[in-house]
Structure 1
Amino acid sequence: MSTKADQKIPELDFDTPALKRHRKVRALKDRGATVGIAIGGSSVIVAVLLICFYLVYEIAPLFTGADIEQQNSYPVPALEAGKSLYLTSEEQVEVGLRVAENGDMIYFNAANGDIIEQVQNPLGEPTAFAVEANTSNLFAFGYADGRVLVAQQNYKITYPDGERLITPSIQYPYGTEGIQVADFALRDISVRDSEDSLTIAAVGDNAAQVTRLDKDVNFITEEVELTESSASLPYVDDTYSLLISGDQRYLYMATRSGAMTEFDIRDMDDITQKDQIDLVEGDAQLVSMQYLLGQSSVMVADTSGRVTQWFNVRDDNNVEHLTFIRDVQQTNAIVDVAMEHRRKGFATLDERGFVAIYNATSSSQVINEKLTDSATGMISFAPRANALLLEDGQQINLFEVDNEHPEVSWSSIWGDVWYEGYQESTYTWQSSAANNDFEPKYSLVPLAFGTIKAAFYAMVVAVPLAICGAIYTAYFMAPGLRRKVKPVIELMEALPTVILGFLAGIFFAPFLEEHLAAAFSILVVLPVGILLFALLWSRMPQGIRWMVPEGWQPVLLIPLIVVLGWGCVAMSPMIELYWFDGNIRGWLGDQGITFDQRNALVVGFAMGFAVIPTIFSITEDAIFSVPKALTQGSLALGATYWQTMTRVVLPTASPGIFSAIMIGMGRAVGETMIVLMATGNTPIMDFNIFEGMRTLAANLAVEVPESEVGSSHYRILFLAAFVLFVFTFVVNTIAETVRQHLRKKYGSL
């Protein structure tokens, strides 16, 4: 008889065909999953890198240097007419114009110098010459008999046989007989024209005169009637340059030594001397005094190689004073200065033949190259600033200029800039305006500030509520109630932010403005009311307290919160009447606090509501995932629930909590629709909770569809996107670093 010990235990065969097939299938699945996960992860990394590279590709042209290249060189057209008083070209750089010393106006082919038309001056050889503005194409001649002839270049474009043909002509908007402005020979003149009036200032050998022609339209004949008024000016010895301000309010009369006298010519019957300013320093001599585009900034060049920018700034008494703003310095004496027609840029030609191109707003030099060997010469920009004409002696040189983004520099983007018409240097974002003379303001500082401000107030609202709610839900709340509360809060994350922004801007912002006192009172009444209710509940008989299951007590707070909130709103008019004299906005104004309806408080509540589900869900999962053995061990050793929470659970869950905060902050930083619809979208720098802001994301949403592709504005918007990208990357990197540190520190618990 065999025993159990004698019985052989059957051996298991792990190499059966079925098991072999199973292992092969499993290995194949594992390999496929590994490859799939690797491909998916690599694809995400590649996609992010491609986005980054594309942003850099669009941004890079902003910081590349400018280029200038010679296209042609030819003899000065009609050189026998004398040296050039003025040199320019039309927009397509096909037809050039040279105003000669004898008064002739010579149109020539800008590519080869062939003369197209030579227009003789109807009044003969002038004794003075002035350009009104490059943008108006107006210039004027002064004569020995005291007359001034105003001429205007004009170009007609036709397309015979499908090819562009530009036909130039000269027009005389005030007639060919000239305007009698003085009874002495004119040595220097300045002209300023507008729809309402024409002002001419003239200087002779020992006299000065200013004449204004006011324009009135006859509604019957539709003809323009001119009313003339004139006045004598105090004569300034050694007058070298005259300049009338763009609004025809002031006249600047400068000597060769740079002493400038400013006259107020608004009232022709009472012309007064307003100010005296030294435009140059030391022994330098004045070379040029002319307006930058927009006729706000006066650019002054001298023989020391210095170009200074001046414009009117109002003082505390609202009086304008011509003020020095900034300068650029070269090593050699300047021979000529040319202004760009459509941007705040200018070029200088020095005595060694170097041409330097600058931008006034960015204070940056984009080009400095030797283009000629002549010590004397004249330069002029084409209207689009894509070409430069340089006359040196008997030759005219045509250069192609590639200078797309001169107004952008590190200082103009991140530094404070003193813009035209401002009282001081500021950080300003203003990318467009109603006129072509606009000075673009591309500072990203207010946008970055607005982004941080919006995120800060959103996190102030969201972090305490989300984390405290997650702590209670995961640790103290009854499981049955938790299973209902958590899905509801997570469902909040599915709400479209455009709906939240719409409700915040259309409903909540006006409601908050009307019941601002209630918002303040709720911050006090609600916490105090909840604490008093908790104290009262703890004093209730035990039989009553046992009627509510453990962990379900928060349900009792819902009607309390509703009643207290309704009471604060109902009492808002009385609070405002007795505590703030019936006008809380006026009271805030008296305290120096401005109030906008769509402000950071509205954004804080709306965006905080959108961020709460993210922070709550991650935090709650992190706390709930803390091993029960840790909490039970702590309680067994005599610790209270609160001690266990603060000293065991929270440190263990801290990596997840910190990640939740950082992810929530990333969500707040990148939020677009809420801040777009509920902030007023004003790029101001003020941490006042009652004022709005403009964020980087909202700015992109508003301006990208309207920007010109390839323009400076377009590329700076990509730079703003890159800044947002970098900011998010830095926040996530810090979050991951801190999370790993906390995980290592508390992982042994």
Structure 2
Amino acid sequence: MSSANLDLNSPALKRKRKLRNLTDKIASHGIGVGGISVIVTIMLIFLYLLYEVAPMFKSASIEEVSEYSVPGLLVDDPSTKTVYMATEEQAEIGMRLTAAGQVLFFDLKEGALLNEVDLLDGEDSRVSYVTEGRIGSRTLVVGLESGQVKIFKHNYRAEYDQDANRTLHPEISYPYGEELIDMIDEPIVSLAMNENEENMVLAAAGNSLSIQMVSFTKEEDLFGDGFEVERYDPPTFDVAQRADFLVIDAEMDRLFVANRSGVMQRFNIEDVDAVEAFEPKRLISKGQNLTQFQPLLGGISILVADTSGKTAQWFMARNEEGEKDFTKVRTFESDELDAAIELVAIEERRKGFFTITDDGVLDIYNTTAHRNLLEEQVIEGKADFMIVAPRADALMIESDGVLKVWEVENKHPEVSWGSLWNEIWYENYDEPDYIWQSTAATTEFEPKMSLTPLAFGTIKAALYAMLFAIPLAICGAIYTAYFMAPEWRRKVKPVIELMEALPTVIIGFLAGLFLAPFIETNLTGVFAILIILPIGILLFGFTWANLPKAIRHRVPDGWDAALLIPVLLVLVWVSMALATPIEVAFFGGDMRTWISNDLGIDFDQRNALVVGIAMGFAVIPSIFSIAEDAIFSVPKHLSHGSLALGATPWQTLVRVVMPTASPGIFSAVMIGMGRAVGETMIVLMATGNTPVMDWNIFEGMRTLSANIAVEVAESEVHSTHYRVLFLAAFVLFMFTFVVNTVAELIRQRLRNKYGSL
């Protein structure tokens, strides 16, 4: 058919053009919708992570729920004044102990009396001092003006009716018997008590400069209904000043004695028959008075409050001489406050506390985060008593015969930017450090949620993986794309790309169960391979290049690399064969022991070396494939023109091909790094998951991604731990976003610079 007779507007061609236009529009809109969907999805992920993280940094708030006259208080009767207050778990029932020994239970919202118990049962004495045993135990020690002590526990028994309505019945019990315990021959001015499953230690002091201690050993009775106690009275010992405050530490081997002037003396009571005294120590500035001296949850730390408006946290830590000493760790002070701290209330389940000044200003603090969560004027004048509910969700303050109750909103006090990223001085540590330890077996545990060691571990794992992967992947890409014969390239490239489909859990499994023990057993051989293999390859290449042309030309161009296969096998065999003589000659027969003992470097079986090899193996296919495509896509006329002008193949590669392909190579490296940063299963199975900050190649690490995988399933939903894990995910997200953004900027600059070649 001639061109004159060709009909371009035939019905068939019109339909074809319409179909093609429709297909183009669908593809264009589909690609646009897909791209926008990706952007929207990323933004939604970003916003969701922010939604989960933001509540952690919200300040505390309080709301007054009720106000009424103190139940059972008579203004003209001093025997009815409050000497202690407490509340049960759900902050529904309050308990008040009077100076006459009356225990009053009342409805916390309305103030109605529910029950009344005469603790002293008609004894002609008054309560002079009350203290709680271990925080949260509900065990109270009551000191009397007669010098005697009575110990009781307030309990709340729950009953349910047919409609599942719960009713609480308050009652008291006597864990050490109902009889009064004789302590001293004068009114008790201070008491301290601590106990564990087997023992209880009680210390009492009066106005005289002496301390009386009593030790009880608990044994379960024959019928298992309770326990019997056996009392022991060690000798009385003297103190340097009046004992206004007494504290027995968590291990019951130290007694702290402090007076109002702020001088503290420490005693070693591990052997109650031979108490060891230490030199007195001033805790506050001269001219100030000590107002509170209370143990924090767990009994390790002691809070010291004074009339200057400051509250300090102290605990035992090693000093510069290496000896344990009572050390001030941190100080808490309101921003706009210069009034005396009147009362301190300790939280029962967290490392937090409430303070109120003599002019009615309330502050809420957390010790770990070193954070002031709230500062608010709650009453006018002086508070007589303050108590925090066990769950720290309610606050009660008695002032001038009136009891006020507040609801407290304070979900995540233990988190601050400082506690997440700075060194924190944790209890039982001798100095500040970066620690991740989110959970423990006891509720007295201090959460240690520093993200710094996890971020460090992520960078460390990625760094060692990239040090292993980049040289091999890029050199392999260069040879495959530029020097290798086409027949070989068509086989080698798909095989290497197929490696990317290997599940990382399999790589991690092999790394943990095979590679780590193999490296530990053959450490000298592994290092010998790293040294001998490159040297041997260079020597073989130099020798091959200097052989007669008649020999070299027998091997077709591009097939030279096949000769390296037997060379590599021989070099590996030689390295492993020389490992034992080298180890005997230089490392005393055991390189691992030499590293640990002579160099003082810790060695873990699952370490950064294992992770670098295993994760590098997983990253190599990504880097290789993209870099090889970039090098192979360099226009052939550029390399042919360079060769025609007299440049050698290596000069052409370095000065023409590599600069032109540099944007693609850089993209390959960054994509590989992104995968190394986000890798989970390999680092989870091959690192030992130890959150330490050390560049030592023989120690493990814990990465952000592995930490999320390990702990997110066990964290309580919406808890602080749960939200910190989301913050770790947010940090990973932002790290990847920033790195990719910077990488794209650099790639564009490289493209603009070398795109004109």
CA deviations over 1:264-298 (Å, ceiling 9, x no partner): 11112221212322111232211111111111110
SS of the residue 1:706 aligns to? coil
Report the Cα offset of residue 236 of structure 1. 3.9
Report the Cα offset of residue 368 of structure 1. 1.1
Does structure 1 residue 125 correspond to structure 2 residue 129?
no
2:106 corresponding residue in structure 1: 108
Report the Cα offset of residue 218 of structure 1. 6.7
Does structure 1 residue 234 correspond to structure 2 residue 238?
yes
2:303 corresponding residue in structure 1: 299
Distance 1:301 1:246 in 2: 20
Distance 1:746 1:9 in 2: 46
Query: Which of 29, 35, 47 is 1:35 aligned to?
Result: 29
Superposition map of 1:290-369 within 5 A:
290-315=294-319, 319-330=323-334, 331=337, 332-369=339-376
SS of the residue 1:705 aligns to? coil
The percentage of counterpart residues that share the same residue type is 51
Q: CA RMSD in A?
A: 1.7
SS of the residue 1:282 aligns to? coil
Distance 2:577 2:95 in 1: 76
Distance 1:11 1:275 in 2: 117
Does structure 1 residue 57 correspond to structure 2 residue 65?
no
Report the Cα offset of residue 530 of structure 1. 1.2
Distance 1:9 1:480 in 2: 44
Distance 2:739 2:732 in 1: 11
Question: 1:672 is aligned with what amino acid?
Answer: T
CA deviations over 1:688-735 (Å, ceiling 9, x no partner): 000000000000100000000000000010000000000011111111
- Identify if the C-alpha distance between structure 1 residues 49 and 221 changes in structure 2 by more than 3 Å, giving closer, same or farther: closer
Question: 2:85 is aligned with what amino acid?
Answer: L
CA deviations over 1:398-422 (Å, ceiling 9, x no partner): 1111100000111011111100011
1:407 corresponding residue in structure 2: 414
CA deviations over 1:348-392 (Å, ceiling 9, x no partner): 111221211110100111111111113233211100001111111
- Identify if the C-alpha distance between structure 1 residues 9 and 236 changes in structure 2 by more than 3 Å, giving closer, same or farther: closer
Distance 1:79 1:9 in 2: 114
Does structure 1 residue 194 correspond to structure 2 residue 176?
no
SS of the residue 1:397 aligns to? strand
- Identify if the C-alpha distance between structure 1 residues 594 and 235 changes in structure 2 by more than 3 Å, giving closer, same or farther: closer
Distance 2:239 2:684 in 1: 58
Report the Cα offset of residue 10 of structure 1. 3.4
> Which piece of structure 1 moves more, 437-446 or 92-101?
92-101
Does structure 1 residue 675 correspond to structure 2 residue 694?
no
CA deviations over 1:417-467 (Å, ceiling 9, x no partner): 100011111111110011110000111000000000000000000000000
Query: Which of 714, 739, 753 is 1:731 aligned to?
Result: 739
2:713 corresponding residue in structure 1: 705
Superposition map of 1:525-536 within 5 A:
525-536=532-543
SS of the residue 1:275 aligns to? coil
Report the Cα offset of residue 210 of structure 1. 2.8
Contact 2:209 2:243 in 1 (8 A): no
Superposition map of 1:170-569 within 5 A:
170-217=172-219, 223-315=227-319, 319-330=323-334, 331=337, 332-569=339-576
CA deviations over 1:237-274 (Å, ceiling 9, x no partner): 44321111121111111111111111111112221212
- Identify if the C-alpha distance between structure 1 residues 63 and 35 changes in structure 2 by more than 3 Å, giving closer, same or farther: same
Question: 1:243 is aligned with what amino acid?
Answer: V
| Unmatched runs of 5 consecutive residues or more in structure 2 | none
> Which piece of structure 1 moves more, 488-497 or 563-572?
563-572
CA deviations over 1:504-560 (Å, ceiling 9, x no partner): 000000000000001111111111111222233234343332332111111111121
Distance 1:416 1:134 in 2: 28
CA deviations over 1:554-574 (Å, ceiling 9, x no partner): 111112111221232233233
Does structure 1 residue 622 correspond to structure 2 residue 630?
yes
Does structure 1 residue 695 correspond to structure 2 residue 696?
no
Report the Cα offset of residue 11 of structure 1. 7.6
Does structure 1 residue 601 correspond to structure 2 residue 605?
no
2:94 corresponding residue in structure 1: 96
TM-score norm. by structure 1 comes to: 0.96
Report the Cα offset of residue 148 of structure 1. 1.2
SS of the residue 1:153 aligns to? strand
2:673 corresponding residue in structure 1: 665
Distance 1:278 1:615 in 2: 63
Distance 1:188 1:41 in 2: 72
Distance 1:651 1:537 in 2: 29
> Which piece of structure 1 moves more, 665-674 or 255-264?
255-264
Distance 1:644 1:112 in 2: 90
SS of the residue 1:293 aligns to? coil
SS of the residue 1:127 aligns to? strand
Contact 2:240 2:280 in 1 (8 A): no
> Which piece of structure 1 moves more, 457-466 or 480-489?
480-489
2:84 corresponding residue in structure 1: 86
TM-score norm. by structure 2 comes to: 0.95
> What count of residue pairs does the alignment treat as equivalent?
742
SS of the residue 2:149 aligns to? strand
CA deviations over 1:303-348 (Å, ceiling 9, x no partner): 1110000011134666321100001113121111100010000001
Report the Cα offset of residue 145 of structure 1. 3.2
Contact 1:357 1:368 in 2 (8 A): yes
Contact 1:181 1:209 in 2 (8 A): no
Superposition map of 1:646-665 within 5 A:
646-665=654-673
Question: 2:140 is aligned with what amino acid?
Answer: F
Contact 2:133 2:194 in 1 (8 A): yes
Distance 1:710 1:208 in 2: 50
Distance 1:640 1:297 in 2: 74
Question: 2:751 is aligned with what amino acid?
Answer: R
SS of the residue 1:324 aligns to? strand
Report the Cα offset of residue 187 of structure 1. 2.2
1:747 corresponding residue in structure 2: 755
CA deviations over 1:174-207 (Å, ceiling 9, x no partner): 1222222223332222222222222222112224
